[in-house]
A and B are shown apart, each in its own frame.
Chain A
Amino acid sequence: MLLRNVNFHRFQCGFAPGNIPNFCTVLEHALLINIFLTVLYVSRSYSNSPLPDVQQLSSDESVSGKQVKPERKSVVPSNSRFIYPEFLPDPKIEWRNSLREKLERMDMIQRRKHIDIPEFYVGSIMAVSSSNQHAPNKATRFVGICIQRLGCGLRANFTLRNVIKHVGTEMKYQLYDPTIQKIEVLRLEKRLDDELLYLRDAPNEYSTFDENMEVEYLPEGAPVPVNPEMVKLKPRPWRARWERKDMKGLADLGLEDRFYERAKELATPWEKYDLMKQYRKTIPEEEQKEIFAEVYSELHEVEVMRKKLKRKKVFIKPTKNV
């Protein structure tokens, strides 16, 4: 992945082609790459072009890929890592073991054959039915907005938030918990942030959703819409210092200047240029491809099953309206 990024930037910065072989010999040392790329990034930032983060880089890769070598197109869709993020292992090197990750993936696929785990993102509105020994019908259903999605492998979990009887309520579910009977996505959409924990400090109307909400279907192949809703928080005190978190979905916080000054002091805007840090925090793209190539055929089967079911539902819907 690093090497590809380098190619990409070489292309962007207009290096003379004659220099490239010499440069490649230097590439042996990751440290040098780091330093060199940091310089490149800084030089790019002067041209006021938006900085690509790691996720964008790979989508741009198709552009750079043509420059490097014509690759055989793989059947695995490139957005697999957004749809199935929990299939990528924890990048912490001390905890990695290829066999454990493989066994974990096998178990996950086995579970997915029995329950439909749809594509969802933070900001989607979901309904989860799960077995509950203490509930009257031995099952409960909870509707809410997904405010957090964490973990990888069988530990993957997500948190739903809703306001029930004027009380903010959150439920944390393990994605592969065998007591979960059904996961529905009522409205598939994204929000401006990757974590919506600030809804806890917002007025209740921002996280109130109807429990009897009906499923809203998107047309086949449509991109996932981004809801640009800005959240206006209640006055302080808050659960976190949101002015320091650089949240995009927050409206004006209405704080004194000193808060913003302090936030500016503590900000670490240089971290996004630290490529090695990004590299250590993510799974390299070659490895991602390997992982998804291994599990894709079985995931695809499950997906086809899901689509069949979905088509049935779509067919039923107009009769209901009549």
Chain B
Amino acid sequence: MNVFAVTYFAFLIIASSFAAFQQRRGPFMILFSLTLASFVLAIVGGTSALRSVAVGAGLLAFAASIAYCFREFLVIIMPTGIARELRTAPLTAAFGLFVIFTYAIAGIFAPWIAPYGESEIISSAFAPADENMLLGADQLGRDMFSRIVYGARNSVGLALVATVSAFFMGALGGLLAATKGGWFDQFLGRAADVIMSIPSLIFALLMLSIFGPRIIVIIIAVAIIYAPRVFRLTRAVAGNVVVMDYIEAAKLRGERTWYLIRKEILPNSTAPLVAEFGLEFCFVFLLVAGLSFLGLGIQPPTADWGSMVRENATLISFGDLTPLIPAAAIALLTVAVNFVVDWMLFRSSGLKE
């Protein structure tokens, strides 16, 4: 028995007794089952297993307190209407907002944050981390940390532009199809069916093989692949709005299609569309990351998270996890966006399930 194990168990048992004393069933169950599980863990894995549990719990608590502070911060600086909504946000959503905020800062201010340029060779290949380089060097001797910061700008930026164009095409098509109806609606619907029956990655690979891996090709390919999904949702949402009486009234007033879409339909279908935008962004981001992992995304020397993983993958077989940081960054952003989307869907539907 060493000091660490004794403090660990003492802390858990005191905390669970306190929870029981306060009649809080949930926290008590969590803490006490953790205590029981820790007994087993300590026997099987020794102190090091307990240490990793403690580190994990510490990280979780850290993330929760950051999320809590960030939510309070937002509630204070935002105007009253938004602040009231934010006050009800769960901690996961607040954490998601915080992560998105961090990535935005990293992306916008990349040249000021990164100590070196993204394609600047400053040392030997795979040099270990030292006081100049936070995470060591990559396969050509470029600073890994700087490249990750620049990657926030390039990878996320590309995914964002691609999502916006897909969303614009899909939403415009869906709104027009819902208001115009007839053969236009039928034609777009069938076209969307055909595109959706080709797997997205395969379609992207086909287009990239023909037009070459250029950024504009990636954006157009993603727009074509994901526009049908947005189209379907917009068509369904707008279809419910179009049959309302106030649309009929506006039509009888002699308003044009463009006015109908902009002033009548769009304001009444924003909530599901915003949530859909978040979901689409996740799909697009993962697809683009996959493409660049395959060497078909943003071309070197521009820093990009997917290709960085591929280029430095050899380090993994030497027991170094640094090459996976860009991949973890992708996963973290996607999880964060999903948390926020979950909250928005919950808010817009008002469902309890």
To the question of whether A and B form a pair in one complex, the answer is no
**Which of A's residues lie within 8 Å of B, judged by CB?**
none
**Which of B's residues lie within 8 Å of A, judged by CB?**
none
